[in-house]
Amino acid sequence: MRVIARDGVHEFELQRSRFLCSLARVADDEEAAAFIAAVRREHWSATHHCSAFRVGPDGGSQRSSDDGEPAGTAGVPMLEVLVRRELTDTVAVVTRYFGGIKLGAGGLVRAYGRAVSEAVDAVGTLRRARFATLEIPAEHAEAGRLENALRAAGHRIAGVDYGRRATFTVQVPQDDTDAFHAWLAEQTGGAVTATVGPPVDLDVPD
């Protein structure tokens, strides 16, 4: 799955109608509904506020609204963009200021889909990936060398705890854990082993 890289607003004009697509990251249905309501309040004089959102690990919770546009011409094509882009935890609201020229059903479908697609292109996306969390203990005398080796190899250090010994928290792509254990053994001559903790989902560049 993917998520948008940041919140944002994208606007274009078509046949004198203004289409503003507002995108936001949300964690659940309630946050999505709150964002839709906030956009309505901000653009209270607009003709329509059509919306679509997907939330959950697999985008399993999803909903769309035509908000007064002909059925199936706004919310559905907006949701289809989110599905096609494999986006989750994302809400899109397309605010339309009617310009006096009717676009027809096909024109509306294209306009609302275009609004979301162009907005997603503008804000960018991140890939959501499963990472293993590894705890790596090291004596203080060896901690600096190990940290340099981890950084030089491009491993993600989530934190370092300096107690009786230094403990590095490293996040490794789930499929790469075996390779990481082998790398660590090579770097430390087998003297250091990592303890596997709970996995986490992280948003990383595509």
Q: Which of 123, 147, 175 lies at the terminal end of a domain, its last residue?
A: 123
104/141 same-domain check? no
Are residues 192 and 134 located together in one domain of the fold? Answer: yes
Q: What CATH number corresponds to the domain at position 28? A: 3.30.230.30
Mean per-residue pLDDT over the chain, rounded:
96
Q: What is the pLDDT of residue 44?
A: 97
Residues 12 and 55 in one domain: yes
* Pair (90, 169) in one structural domain: no
85-143 residue pLDDT tens: 999 999 999 999 999 999 999 999 999 999 999 999 999 999 999 999 999 999 999 99
Let me know whether 143 and 162 are in one domain. yes
| Residue-range definition of the domain harbouring residue 67 | 2-123
Q: Based on the domain organization, do 172 and 137 belong to the same domain?
A: yes
Q: Which pLDDT score is estimated for 99?
A: 93
What pLDDT digit, counting tens, does each position of 93-104 carry? 999 999 999 999
The CATH number of whichever domain residue 133 belongs to comes to: 3.30.70.240
> Three-state SS across the chain?
CEEECCCEEEEEEECCEEEEEEEEECCCHHHHHHHHHHHHHHCCCCCEEEEEEEECCCCCEEEEECCCCCCCCCHHHHHHHHHHCCECCEEEEEEEECCCCCCHHHHHHHHHHHHHHHHHHHHCEEEEEEEEEEEEEECHHHHHHHHHHHHHCCCEEEEEEECCCEEEEEEEEHHHHHHHHHHHHHHHCCCCCCEECCCEEEEEEC
Q: Percentage of residues in the chain with pLDDT exceeding 90? A: 97
Clarify whether residues 11 and 104 are in a common domain.
yes
Give the confidence band of 206 by pLDDT, cuts at 50, 70, 90: confident
The number of domains in the chain is 2
Residues 109 and 188 in one domain: no
pLDDT beyond 90 at 42: yes
What is the value of pTM for the model shown? 0.86
